[in-house]
Amino acid sequence: MSRTDTGASERVADHPPSGPGRPRRGLTERLLAVRELSLLIALAALILVTTMRNDRFLSAQSIKDLLLGCAILVILAVGQTLVIVTRNVDLSIGSILGLVAFATGELFLAAPGTPWPVALLVGVALGGLCGVVNGGLIAVAKVPALVITLGTLYAFRGIDYYWAAGRQINAADMPRSFLRLGNQTVLGVPVLFLVALVVVAAAGFYLRSYRSGRELYAIGSEPAAARLSGIPVGRRVFAVFAANGALAGLAGVLYAARFGTLDAAAGAGLELQVVAAAVVGGVAIFGGSGSVYGAALGAVLLTTIGSSLAVLRIDPFWQQAVVGALILAAIGLDRLLALRTAARLRGGSAHGA
């Protein structure tokens, strides 16, 4: 915490400011805009390079594939953003997704006539339940979310395995109407991507425009101050984990619709990509700052990297290494920028009185 005089405020002793002026754009907002812009530039550059190698990369089919491919990751990244903003992390989402995806298949097996909206609701509810388990354990034990969710990562996956017992659910077991959800398009845009867009917009709107949304940032920014301000920290963190679980549940149902073939291993290892997407998207791992738009862009970027590696015929084994390198680069870059900003703010004027 810097406790230094910046001279940033101009003290006017005798004449108060002349009426309410037009609010200027805050520094935070400007920094965020910079991050989102640079992500877009990176994305454009990547697409350009890949397209130069192979012009089909920019065909309608290919763009459709990209949008379809990133939808699930975008939804998960939005949920993870909610969690990271409060200075927590949820590593169990991959397992929640797998469990819910399998449960969806089971539901259709058990009750073949189930309309897909019901399945969607059941999946979201089951995901939410998993999130409640996470949130509850964290609230009760007051231990880092990392450890709890690392534990539930295995516990949920174990339940999934146990339940599936080596069985597989196939596309034929699920109703056509449900599977169409997975690759249908509206005006050339996949439904899945539209769902993701709605989730991003809703979460972004909530975080910006609602008191409880702003409180999430407050909690991540300075937990002790949040408590003193009367913010129900425990309740908010609990709710965030429940919401993240529900979003992972939604992603699980969509996963089932998209891939059609389900076994218990669905979504294994996805948590790394999701954390990477959020972090690359500018969500500070220290909490308190970052936006869902950035996280969503991060998810799109990661998916595009995956696709272009395949198109560029680069050894697919590089992909995981790239994910890791991106996480390191993103958090390192954030740190560097933060230090720079701090130095600039401090160096601005030393007791310029």
Partner 1 sequence: MAHDSLYTAPPSGAGVETEREGGRFAALRRALGSWDAAVVAALVVAVLLASASVQNFATGRNAQFLLLDLVPLALLALPMTLIVITGEIDLSVASMVGLSSTLMGQMWLSSGLSLELICVLVVLLGGVLGAVNGVFITGFGLPSLAVTIGTLALYRGLSFVVLGDQAVADFPPSWTAAAVRNLPGASIPAAVVPVLLLAVVFGVVLHATPVGRALYAMGNNDQAATFAGVSVARTKFWLFVVSGAVCGLVGVFWTLRYASARGDNATGLELTVVTAVLLGGVSIFGGRGGLLGVVGGVLLLGVLRNALQLADVDANALTIVTGTLLIASVVLPNAVANLRARLHRRRQRAHLTAS
Partner 2 sequence: MSPDTDGTQTSPLLVLDDITKSFGAVAALRGVHLALHRGAAHALVGENGAGKSTLVKVLAGAHAPDSGRMTLDGQPLVLRGPADARAAGIAVIYQEPTLFPDLSVAENIFMGRQPLRGARRIDSRAMNRATERLFARLGVRIDPTRPARGLSIADQQLVEIAKALSFDARVLVMDEPTAALSGVEVERLFGVARSLCERGAAVLFISHRFDEVFDLCQRITVMRDGAWVSSDPAADLTVDEVVRRMVGRDVSSLYPKQDTTLRDTLLDVRGLSRAGVFSDVSFTVHGGEIVALAGLVGAGRSEVARAIFGVDRYDAGQVRVAGRVLRPGNPRKAIAAGMALVPEDRRQQGLVMELSVERNATLARRRALSRLGLLLGGAERAEARCWTRRLQVKTSRLAAPVATLSGGNQQKVVLAKWLATEPRILIIDEPTRGIDVGTKAEVHRLLSELAGAGLAILMISSELPEVLGMADRVLVMHEGRVVRELPRAEADETSVMFAATGQGAAA
Partner 3 sequence: MSANQRGLRLGATALTLTALLLTTACGGTTREKSGNDTGGGSQTSGAANPDAQLKEGLKIAFLPKQVNNPYFTTSDNGGKEAVTEIKGEFKEVGPSEASASSQVSYINTLSQQGMDVIVTSANDPNAICGALNQAKAAGAKIVTFDSDTKPECRQIFVNQVTAEGIAENQVKLISEQIGGAGEIAILSATANATNQNAWIALMKEELKKSEYSKIKLVTVAYGNDEDQKSFQETQGLLQSYPNLKGIISPTTVGVAAAARYLSGSQYKGKVKLTGLGTPNQMREFVKDGTVDAFALWSPADLGYLAAYAGAALASGQISGAEGDKFKAGKLGEYTVGKDGVVVLGPPTVFDQNNIDQFQF
- Using rule CB under 8 A, residue 313 touches partner 1: no
Q: How far is the CB of 93 from partner 3 (least distance, A)?
A: 15
Binding to partner 2 in span 17-76, by CB under 8 A: 17, 20-21, 23-29
- Contact with partner 3 (CB under 8 A) among 310, 328, 339, 350: 310
* CA 310 to the chain's CA centroid: 24
What number of CA atoms fall less than 13 Å from residue 199's CA on the CB side?
29
**Angstrom distance (rounded) from CA 95 to CA 164:** 13
Enumerate the β-bridge partners of residue 262: 169
**What is the x/- site pattern for partner 2, positions 193-222, by CB under 8 A?**
---------------xxxx--xx-xx-xxx
**Angstrom distance (rounded) from CA 106 to CA 100:** 10
Do strands 189-190 and 185-186 pair parallel, antiparallel, or not at all (unpaired)? antiparallel
- Using rule CB under 8 A, residue 113 touches partner 2: no
- Using rule CB under 8 A, residue 142 touches partner 1: yes
Q: Is the dihedral of CA 107, 109, 110, 114 positive or negative?
A: positive
- Using rule CB under 8 A, residue 327 touches partner 1: yes
Structure tokens at 80: 């993870």
Binding to partner 3 in span 113-172, by CB under 8 A: 158, 161, 164-168, 170-172
Contacts of 322 (CB under 8 A, 6+ apart): 305, 309
Residue 80 or 88: the one with the smaller Cβ distance to partner 3 is: 80
Q: How far is the CB of 218 from partner 2 (least distance, A)?
A: 5
Binding to partner 3 in span 167-196, by CB under 8 A: 167-168, 170-172, 182-183
Q: Provide the 10 A C-beta neighbour count for residue 315.
A: 8
- Contact with partner 1 (CB under 8 A) among 216, 275, 300, 305: 275
- Using rule CB under 8 A, residue 285 touches partner 2: no
- Tell me if 104 sits within 8 A of 309, measured CB to CB: no
Q: How far is the CB of 134 from partner 3 (least distance, A)?
A: 21
Q: How far is the CB of 3 from partner 2 (least distance, A)?
A: 5
What number of CA atoms fall less than 13 Å from residue 79's CA on the CB side?
32
- Tell me if 60 sits within 8 A of 188, measured CB to CB: yes
Angle at 111 between CA 106 and CA 114, to 5 degrees: 100
- Contact with partner 1 (CB under 8 A) among 53, 167, 176, 227: 227
**CA neighbor of 305 nearest in space, from 137, 73, 17:** 73
- Using rule CB under 8 A, residue 306 touches partner 3: yes
Structure tokens at 63: 């763009």
- Using rule CB under 8 A, residue 235 touches partner 1: no
Angle at 28 between CA 26 and CA 34, to 5 degrees: 105
**CA neighbor of 128 nearest in space, from 184, 90, 183, 72:** 90
Binding to partner 3 in span 206-265, by CB under 8 A: 259-261, 263-265
Q: Which stretch binds partner 1 (CB under 8 A): 10-18, 28-36, 99-107, 219-227?
A: 219-227
Binding interface with partner 3 (CB under 8 A): 54, 56-57, 59, 61-62, 65, 69, 158, 161, 164-168, 170-172, 182-183, 259-261, 263-266, 306-307, 309-311, 313, 316-317
State the residues that interact with partner 2 by CB under 8 A.
Answer: 1-14, 16-17, 20-21, 23-29, 208-211, 214-215, 217-218, 220-222, 224-232, 284, 288-289, 341-342, 345-351, 353
